[in-house]
Structure 1
Amino acid sequence: MKKRLLIIIGLVVIGLLSWMGYSSVQKLDQKNKSEAIVQNLNSLTNNLGLKVLNNNQPTIFMYFNSDCHFCQWEMKEIGENIKKFQNYQLLLASFEPKNEALDFLLQYKLAQYYVEVDPDSLTNTISGGVPQTFIYENGLLQKHFKGEVKIEAILEVLE
């Protein structure tokens, strides 16, 4: 009886370890795919279903959520300094419902920069939390900021 119990426990442990290993490999594979997609503005926008873009213009793509206090601070700063961004294509995307995202952006006079994307595509394409900022020149990723970033740091990359 004890021998059978030990065999069963051993098989359960081996099964759990195998499942955990498989899950880890899947997550790593998804992260690598995500990192490859965001390297190029065309692949990012195609993956998200965005069509109307000027790939020759320097682009700032920001992934945000209205409940995120870092995102709130960043949008406030961008809204107050929007003239500094006039030579750049600014794209703001969120996984939350369109009306919530637009209501949030209206507070900072940034609603015109909102791009609607499928929430599942967005969260599958960009791994990690919000905020994230991607800066592209000539369609290629120049800098990726994870978390809060000052507008001076964004502009420094583009100048």
Structure 2
Amino acid sequence: MKKKLLIIFGLLVIGLLSWMGYSSIQKLDQKSKSEAIIQNLSSLTNNLGFKVANTDQPTIFMYFNSDCHFCQWEMEQIEKNIEKFQNYQLLLASFEPKNEAIDFLQQYKLAEHYVEVNPDSLTSTMIGGVPQTFIYENGSLKKHFKGEVKIEAILEVLE
């Protein structure tokens, strides 16, 4: 009886370890696919299902959520410094329903920069939480900020 329990327990442990290994490989695969997609603006926009006016113009792509306190702070800072962003293409995307995202952005007078994306593609491509900021020059990723970032840091990358 003890031998059967030991065999069953051993099989359960092997099964659990196999499942954990498979899950880890899947996550690493998803992360490498995501990294490849975000490396250039064209592949990002194609993957997320939207078009940009000019892929050669320096671009700031921000992934946000209206419930995120860091996102709220960043949008407030952008609104206060919007004149510093005039030479750049500013794209703001969220997985939230369009009306919620636009209502949020209207508070900061940034609704015109909203881009509607496929929410499933966005959440599978943007590994990690919000906010995330991507800075592109000549269509290539120059800098990726995860989490809250000061406006000065964004502008420093672009100058």
TMscore range, shorter length: over 0.9
Counterpart-to-counterpart distance in 2, 1:42 and 1:87? 19
**Which residue number in structure 2 is paired with residue 147 of structure 1?**
147
**Secondary structure at 2:51 match in 1:** coil
**Which residue number in structure 2 is paired with residue 78 of structure 1?**
78
Residue 6 in structure 1 maps to residue 11 in structure 2: no
Runs of 4+ in 1 over 4 A off after TM superposition: none
**Which residue number in structure 1 is paired with residue 87 of structure 2?**
87
Counterpart-to-counterpart distance in 2, 1:118 and 1:56? 23
Aligned counterparts, 1:28-43, within 5 A: 28-43=28-43
Gaps of 5+ in 1: none
User: TM-score, length-normalised on structure 1?
Assistant: 0.98
Gaps of 5+ in 2: none
- 1:52 CA displacement: 3.4
Residue 52 in structure 1 maps to residue 57 in structure 2: no
**Which residue number in structure 2 is paired with residue 64 of structure 1?**
64
Identity of aligned residues (%): 84
Letter in structure 2 aligned against 1:51: K
**Secondary structure at 2:144 match in 1:** strand
**Which residue number in structure 2 is paired with residue 96 of structure 1?**
96
State the Cα deviation string for residues 27-54 of structure 1 (Å, max 9, x = none).
0110111011101000000000112330
Please provide the CA RMSD for this pair: 0.6
State the Cα deviation string for residues 43-100 of structure 1 (Å, max 9, x = none).
0000001123301110000000000000000000001111110100000000111111
Question: Retained in 1: the 8 A contact 2:61–2:134?
Answer: yes
User: TM-score, length-normalised on structure 2?
Assistant: 0.98
- 1:125 CA displacement: 1.1
Deviates most, 137-146 or 52-61: 52-61
Counterpart-to-counterpart distance in 2, 1:152 and 1:50? 28
